[in-house]
Structure 1
Amino acid sequence: MSYISLFRQKKFSNCYLKMKKTLLIAALLGVVAISSCKKDTAQQPDTTTTAGINSVEAPTGFNWASTRSLNVSATITDTRFGATAIHRIAIYDGDPFNGGRLLAAGSATTANPFTTKITIPTALGTLYVVKTSADNSQIIQKVTPGPADIALTFGSIDPSITAEKAAAGKLQVMGGTPASPDCNSGCSTTITTSTSNVNVNSGNVICITGNNITVSFASVNGGTVRVCGSNVTLQNYNFQNGSNVYVTTNGSVNLSGVNFNSSSSTLSNWGTVNYSGSFPDNGIINNYGTMNVSGDFNINSNAGALTNNGTMNIAGSFNNGSSASATNNGSMIVSGNFQQNGGAGVFVNNCSLNIGGDYNQSSAVKNYSYIKVTSKTTINSSTTLNLYNGAMFSTQHFLLDGSTIAGNGSTSLLLITTGDAKVQNSGAIITGPISVCVKGNFSTAYMSNGAALDCDLYIPVSGCNPDGNGTATVKDTDGDGVPDNLDAFPNDATKAYISSGGTGTVAFEDQWPNKGDFDLNDLVMSYSYTVITNAANVVVQVTGKYSLLATGGNYGNGFGVEFPTARANVSGLTRGTLEAGQTKAVVTLFSNMRTVMANWNTQPGVAQSPVVKDSITFNVANGPTLASFGQDGYNPFIWNMGGDNKRHEVHLWGKTPTTLADQSLFGTGADNTNVAAGRYYVTTTGLPYAISIPATFSYPIEGTDITSVYLHFADWAQSGGTSYTDWYSNTATGYRNTSLIYTH
């Protein structure tokens, strides 16, 4: 046998160079060279562990996980489709309309909530939970995960979501509201008590923090007033010269008789504005809170724009006689008349507009959601009412006077609740995808391009539309109880939903029960799982995808995963081996990593092996529920025979061995496993033998302690995982030593 065949493969390059230098020396030097490189046939304690990892003192019981598990339940109170109707609950790790990844999905009814156990990165700050019903109506709840489990309730509508509906019909969570200012900083003057003769000049910031006070102004020449107190009355304030008033989230202000004379002046409200009398809007109004006007609301010729993202209550009429645009993204209630007479001015309704009097339109209106007129609607000559993507316009009386109603996108509804519907003068037309519902006779001669008489169009109830129309048609092709629009497998009654299992990378040390060098590259495997469930949220199929990144270990390690179901329940495994003799389902990908990856991918400058990709799929009979099966990385492990012909299994901290592991090794070497105490795979100093990262892991080069590479790893561990939760993903200065990270 040659010298080379005796060397450990992991140290091959370094040892081979030594051998070349000593090849002409006597055999004694060869023996010395060999002894400097560990063999694969005998496990020796690794004494190269650095002071860095040895100095880490993690709290007792710290599980070394960068993830946490949360139980999530979603209860349904929506009875629109019957008590047994199935609604789909889906959980995302971000905004589902902006790249959020689906974590879990399943059925919920009024009798049976959806429950699951998700595993998320500790650093993740937001979850989105979406209820979708048979009519495709959706309610979204945005959740900040904390230490407690998550319990949510979904009804038929969510009044808290004054969501903007884009022209494509896409529901958006209202997330565009800018943060409210405050009075904690940036104030040039702070007012806490009733004050008279206040002067505001350009560049000034006047902060009012007192409650139940009156502040009167001598002059306003630009500048900004922030109202943080409650029940603050402003007297003699004139919006001019680009002046601004900001009412903060906790603020409330009383106004009357103001002069709003500058198109560049702004009133922005996050709290409450109470205006006595008729409001003269000649500037810019941004309402994110509640605005109450006891008289009319008049948009005059100098106005910049009105944007309502909150609630506006107008006791009088709404009058837009200017070229200014007005946009309603929230709720607007007009007790009097609504008059849109502003020439080039456009009124855009993205949510709810409720009118107690008449609706008179002489300039453009675009309705993407819901307008309700209690009395009469008149659309005057040469103007257009546009309806978009399932919008609804409801009125008691109706006159189309030489004007146009145009449908755009999916079919919208014009609902005339009495028989009083008239069309007059040439040019009057209803065109495009519009259903016209009239309680009486109405000529179709004025309809074209898809417009038709129809009272059955289904419009779902929503946070913007409290009425809706018609009844949804529910189609369930495979008869499993899940409507086709909610069913990922509408033609297969055994399957219904796709959920994500764990996604991440697991990195091992292979010296167990002895302590390794903690470079965590003896075997590095990335993984992702997909779990398929049926209508009852029972697991029926599992797919795993794997990428073997590195094999820098002492031994020809095998790799496997134990899944939380009985071995007897598993069938149809597409690749890998369903290991015999196991109680639970254990799937192994290989029994010797050297047979699948020739090189180690841990030493800079040494030839690399390509990343080895593999995948498995298996079916589960009599399976557990998704909540029981879980959605993490399950129980991955490596094993080798350790030179003593015993099965040395290496698992993550706290994970249990498989049935075939040799448990006589527990408590030997550096291992501090205690079966009775439920403590597994941890050293006597509290270190793990493997870690799992919820990302693709950029692992250390050969022989480099992870604390030398990830500079906040020790801080994270010593905090019990509460600090530097992004130690593995943050690339900012001071987080990692990139020169010690192996590069593929």
Structure 2
Amino acid sequence: MTIRSKKPNYLIVAILSLLVVTSCIKFPQPDPGVVSDIPESFDWKTVQSVNVNVQVNSINGISDNYIRVIKVYSSPMLKDGSLLSSGAAKPGTPFNVNLTLPTSLQSLYIQEILPDGSRTLTKTDITSKSISINTASGITKSSSNAAQNAAFTSPSVPVPANFDVIISNNNSVSVVGFTAGQSSAYGNQYKSYLIPAGVTRTANIDMGNYISHAILYVKGTLKMTGNMGLNKSTIVVLDGGNVEVGGLSCGVFEADLPVFYVEPSGSFYSSKLVNFSDGSDMVNKGTFTVNHNIDVNSSSTLYNEGDIIVSKRGYGLLVSNNSKLYNSGSIDVKKFEITVSASTVNDLGGIIKTETYYQSNGTVVNNHGEIIATTSFKTSGGGIINNFCNITASLTDLQGSVSNLYDGSLWETLTSKFNTCDINMYGGSIFLTGNISAVWDLSLASPSETYSLFKATDNVPDLRYAGSHISGRIEFVHTNLTEGSGTNGRQLYEGLFTDGLALLSKNQTKNILASTCNNAAGQIVAPPPAIVDNDADGVAEALDYDDNDASVAFVSYFPSESTWGTYAFEDTWSWKGDYDMNDLVLSFRITYFTNSLNKVTKMKFDHKILASGSGIQIASAFQLDNIASSSIASVSGQELAGTSPFSVTANGTELGVSKAVIPIFNNVRDVVTDDFGILLNTVDGIYFNTPSGSLTIQFTSPQETSNVSMDAFNFFIVPYKSDNVSRSKEIHLPTFLPTTKIDATLLTGDQLNYSDKYKYSDGMMWGIMIPEKFDYPKEYESIGNAYINFFRWATSGGVEFTDWYKDLDGYRDNSKIYNN
């Protein structure tokens, strides 16, 4: 039993499982709706290989022997997790890398960071398979100003040396406090219950206490399908503990204790709504993951010093009705809303990352860390934002709000809209925008004796009739400024600069000292470089990924630093199946660790099984096509039970293969240990929370990046029957070859394409890789029916609808896509 979004109907699962066994392993039902005019040359790739060559220039005052750091991003926001690759360059020694990019991606953003912190950003369009960029010098970074800290102290909970009740089985349990006249034999103030380490409980626990306060401590594992309703009770997840519930809510609460507490190595997961209310206190120092909203309301307080994750589209963290959020950890959600007199303190080191940020009336946000809004940052009907450090947004839309920008802070956005709002810029603060799309009643003011910087790098509308004013020591830099009254003409703006202090410039003249928060976005006078290099690899400490390890200076990612790719397979090769592409669905991210010579010393493969709708067993592995097995020093993190179908040598590579084959798991059930029957996450309304895994591959000697690029990353599955475990069958993506362990007789047959044995004779495939999270079809629904433009992409040879897999209007039939 495990977490589900609703209680499963096991009769339905059993019937579907029987159908799977009889239909997922042979052709032809149900009809996948395949068309016959797929071009012979079509390779089914959603990505392309692009070689990027970055030349850097000599700079006066900086030796050519100093390394420049190059970072390649897929977005100009830079802080939205879009980092693709990083490495070293010197004048005469360019940074050269082969990137695997989504075919739908149109542009790259190349950042150069000099040893003194100076950095430039260059945009380049992806117009060919080979791109050359020559950077120019730019602004400089120092650490003269630091972020202001707003430290907070979270409440604590008592952890007894001895517990009143030990829970070690699935027997019925109600967590209740001491009755009148009762007390703890161990002197505990509150009656304490413990699920100890090594115990897994899969039965619900009744927390609807009606007596005195009680506390449930979890050191082992608790998996509840139902909602955990906390009434006069507290849930504490101790270090190493794991709790999974089908929702969390609060009732009557009388003790002066947090209602919810997760220690640093503890984890809490809810598949449904989490609601904290009625003045509750919550503390998370571990990992708090929710597949729905986290609703903090009615004067409640959430303290986060760990990780809060809400990855489901359209859901996030909602703080309202006089509630408070204190964050010094990481919050990664799809939406972040603070409304109705609520407040937030984002402490030094705290990160709030969201797609959409929304703030309304009576609210106050004090940001001493980072806030990243990848889609929009909006205010409406009031609210105060005090920015002491860094805010980054795609769109900043301020309506009826007051924003105070303090010394050393940066607010950076691609597009801005201002309506009846005040922006107060204290000396040394920066607001950096691309274009300003709309302005009405903007008050831009500074009370300081030193200058701040407001900079627009794109178009700015006519401000003569916008009811706005600019005052105080603010340099308003408009890089597209022209003379006259035409578009971006000086006469459209100069009437606002009448106090003798505010400046209108085309080029920045006032230097803004770099800080730990502003990315040196306003520094135009470079201080002398002060270089610290602890591991003597030539990369400065501030720019080195690990300055205590000379083998690791930089990191690169596929698909990117914060996104995941997806492999999706049919298990019926070499015959067709239903093409629901959910017999194995696995999300992944690859991290490459490189040294100062831009060679790969190790790599990491993070993965998570999302679904397995197969009637047979599935194993998986990948072959590094250009790496010998003897070049692998070690592999850690494999989840292999037994030695079939994969058996490994001491270094973690598959036995009996000369190339480096890295097994991931021998059976989906080795990873997903819950009893999910046959179908895993392919039937609507039945959901199992699956664990994440991570493999780390250490090389015996540094490798060229091209040897481990995605072109040479050969992921495959091995399907087999439980009563006949065999390694003989492999299913790969088109264009990739099988390993030497395959039964070569399986590569014959007229039904297979003559030149690519992992395509059918009509051009269809059995496996596909998508460079982002993929919402896969539900059981028996063809991918071509679920995704409207799938076959238009295929029959065009991959030219049209390169983004067919995205959640865009008219792109998919949601009734045919799995919904948990």
TM-score of Structure 1 vs Structure 2, range by shorter chain: 0.5 to 0.7
Cα distance change of structure 1 residues 108 and 344 upon mapping to structure 2, 3 Å threshold = closer
Task: State the alpha-carbon separation in 2 of the partners of residues 517 and 285 from structure 1.
Answer: 59
Q: Which residue of 2 aligns with 1:433?
A: none
Q: Secondary structure at the match of 2:806?
A: coil
Deviation at 1:718, TM superposition (A): 1.2
Post-superposition Cα deviations, 1:89-142, rounded to whole Å, max 9, x if no partner, equal 000110244525110000111132111111122222221110001000001101
Q: Which residue of 1 aligns with 2:764?
A: 687
Deviation at 1:158, TM superposition (A): 9.1
Q: Which residue of 1 aligns with 2:753?
A: 672
1:584 aligns with 2:665: no
1:288 aligns with 2:480: yes
Post-superposition Cα deviations, 1:193-242, rounded to whole Å, max 9, x if no partner, equal xxxxxxxxxxxxxxxxxxxxxxxxxxxxxxxxxxxxxxxxxxxxxxxxxx
Q: Which residue of 2 aligns with 1:703?
A: 780
Cα distance change of structure 1 residues 691 and 12 upon mapping to structure 2, 3 Å threshold = farther
Letter in 2 for 1:305: Y
Letter in 2 for 1:346: A
Q: Secondary structure at the match of 2:573?
A: coil
Task: State the alpha-carbon separation in 1 of the partners of residues 684 and 579 from structure 2.
Answer: 21
Contact 1:93-1:101 at 8 Å conserved across structures? yes
Q: Which residue of 1 aligns with 2:814?
A: 738
Contact 2:636-2:697 at 8 Å conserved across structures? yes
Contact 2:610-2:681 at 8 Å conserved across structures? no
Segments of 5+ residues of structure 1 without an aligned counterpart are 1-10, 20-33, 181-247, 250-259, 267-283, 307-323, 327-341, 354-366, 370-387, 391-408, 413-458
Cα distance change of structure 1 residues 171 and 59 upon mapping to structure 2, 3 Å threshold = farther
Deviation at 1:157, TM superposition (A): 4.3
Cα distance change of structure 1 residues 603 and 527 upon mapping to structure 2, 3 Å threshold = closer
Picking from 72, 77, 85, the partner of 2:57 is: 77
Post-superposition Cα deviations, 1:528-564, rounded to whole Å, max 9, x if no partner, equal 1111100111111111111111111232110111224
Q: Secondary structure at the match of 1:291?
A: coil
Cα distance change of structure 1 residues 157 and 680 upon mapping to structure 2, 3 Å threshold = farther
Letter in 2 for 1:525: L
Letter in 2 for 1:291: E
Q: TM-score, normalised by structure 2?
A: 0.52
Cα distance change of structure 1 residues 614 and 285 upon mapping to structure 2, 3 Å threshold = closer
Cα distance change of structure 1 residues 639 and 736 upon mapping to structure 2, 3 Å threshold = same
Residue correspondence of structure 1 range 715-726 to structure 2 within 5 A? 715-726=792-803
Task: State the alpha-carbon separation in 2 of the partners of residues 550 and 673 from structure 1.
Answer: 31
Cα distance change of structure 1 residues 491 and 720 upon mapping to structure 2, 3 Å threshold = same
Contact 1:78-1:155 at 8 Å conserved across structures? no
Task: State the alpha-carbon separation in 2 of the partners of residues 604 and 15 from structure 1.
Answer: 8
Picking from 607, 611, 632, the partner of 1:550 is: 611
Cα distance change of structure 1 residues 580 and 636 upon mapping to structure 2, 3 Å threshold = same
Letter in 2 for 1:117: N
Picking from 614, 631, 648, the partner of 2:729 is: 648
Q: Which residue of 1 aligns with 2:125?
A: 144
Q: Which residue of 2 aligns with 1:714?
A: 791
Contact 1:475-1:484 at 8 Å conserved across structures? yes
Q: Secondary structure at the match of 1:568?
A: helix
Picking from 671, 675, 680, the partner of 1:601 is: 680
RMSD of aligned residue pairs (Cα, Å): 4.2
Task: State the alpha-carbon separation in 2 of the partners of residues 17 and 628 from structure 1.
Answer: 46
Q: Which residue of 2 aligns with 1:63?
A: 43
Q: Which residue of 1 aligns with 2:276?
A: none
Task: State the alpha-carbon separation in 1 of the partners of residues 813 and 697 from structure 2.
Answer: 41
Deviation at 1:500, TM superposition (A): 0.8
Picking from 493, 497, 503, the partner of 1:347 is: 503
Task: State the alpha-carbon separation in 2 of the partners of residues 179 and 715 from structure 1.
Answer: 38
Task: State the alpha-carbon separation in 1 of the partners of residues 808 and 27 from structure 2.
Answer: 31
Q: Which residue of 1 aligns with 2:422?
A: none
Deviation at 1:177, TM superposition (A): 5.3
Cα distance change of structure 1 residues 56 and 285 upon mapping to structure 2, 3 Å threshold = same
Deviation at 1:411, TM superposition (A): 14
Post-superposition Cα deviations, 1:605-650, rounded to whole Å, max 9, x if no partner, equal 6854332321111211223222442257921110134769561100
Q: Secondary structure at the match of 1:60?
A: coil
Cα distance change of structure 1 residues 472 and 615 upon mapping to structure 2, 3 Å threshold = same
Cα distance change of structure 1 residues 18 and 492 upon mapping to structure 2, 3 Å threshold = closer
Task: State the alpha-carbon separation in 1 of the partners of residues 701 and 576 from structure 2.
Answer: 41
1:629 aligns with 2:686: no
Task: State the alpha-carbon separation in 2 of the partners of residues 264 and 39 from structure 1.
Answer: 72
Deviation at 1:39, TM superposition (A): 6.3
1:129 aligns with 2:110: yes
Matched pairs, number: 474
Q: TM-score, normalised by structure 1?
A: 0.57
Contact 1:177-1:288 at 8 Å conserved across structures? no
Contact 1:501-1:632 at 8 Å conserved across structures? no
Residue correspondence of structure 1 range 320-331 to structure 2 within 5 A? 324-326=495-497
* Identity across matched positions, percent: 25
1:657 aligns with 2:744: no
Contact 1:389-1:410 at 8 Å conserved across structures? no
Q: Which residue of 2 aligns with 1:310?
A: none
1:569 aligns with 2:631: yes
Letter in 2 for 1:656: L
Letter in 2 for 1:484: E
Picking from 458, 468, 480, the partner of 2:537 is: 480
Cα distance change of structure 1 residues 304 and 539 upon mapping to structure 2, 3 Å threshold = closer
Contact 1:126-1:143 at 8 Å conserved across structures? yes
Q: Which residue of 1 aligns with 2:270?
A: none
Task: State the alpha-carbon separation in 1 of the partners of residues 16 and 597 from structure 2.
Answer: 64
Post-superposition Cα deviations, 1:61-103, rounded to whole Å, max 9, x if no partner, equal 1111222221111011224432322100000110244525110
Q: Secondary structure at the match of 1:578?
A: coil
Q: Which residue of 2 aligns with 1:28?
A: none
Q: Secondary structure at the match of 1:665?
A: helix
Task: State the alpha-carbon separation in 2 of the partners of residues 646 and 492 from structure 1.
Answer: 39
Q: Which residue of 2 aligns with 1:305?
A: 493
Q: Secondary structure at the match of 1:717?
A: helix
Q: Which has the higher contact order (CA 8 A, sep 6+)?
A: 2
Letter in 1 for 2:753: N
Task: State the alpha-carbon separation in 1 of the partners of residues 84 and 517 from structure 2.
Answer: 33
Which stretch has the larger CA shift, 723-732 or 125-134? Answer: 723-732
Deviation at 1:148, TM superposition (A): 3.3
Task: State the alpha-carbon separation in 2 of the partners of residues 139 and 153 from structure 1.
Answer: 11
Task: State the alpha-carbon separation in 2 of the partners of residues 411 and 718 from structure 1.
Answer: 49
Cα distance change of structure 1 residues 286 and 538 upon mapping to structure 2, 3 Å threshold = closer
1:536 aligns with 2:597: yes
Q: Which residue of 2 aligns with 1:373?
A: none
Deviation at 1:726, TM superposition (A): 1.9
Q: Which residue of 2 aligns with 1:184?
A: none
Q: Which has the larger radius of gyration?
A: 1
Q: Which residue of 2 aligns with 1:331?
A: none
Contact 1:78-1:154 at 8 Å conserved across structures? no
Contact 2:536-2:550 at 8 Å conserved across structures? yes
Residue correspondence of structure 1 range 207-218 to structure 2 within 5 A? none
Q: Which residue of 2 aligns with 1:498?
A: 555
Letter in 2 for 1:64: W
Cα distance change of structure 1 residues 687 and 112 upon mapping to structure 2, 3 Å threshold = same
Q: Which residue of 2 aligns with 1:236?
A: none
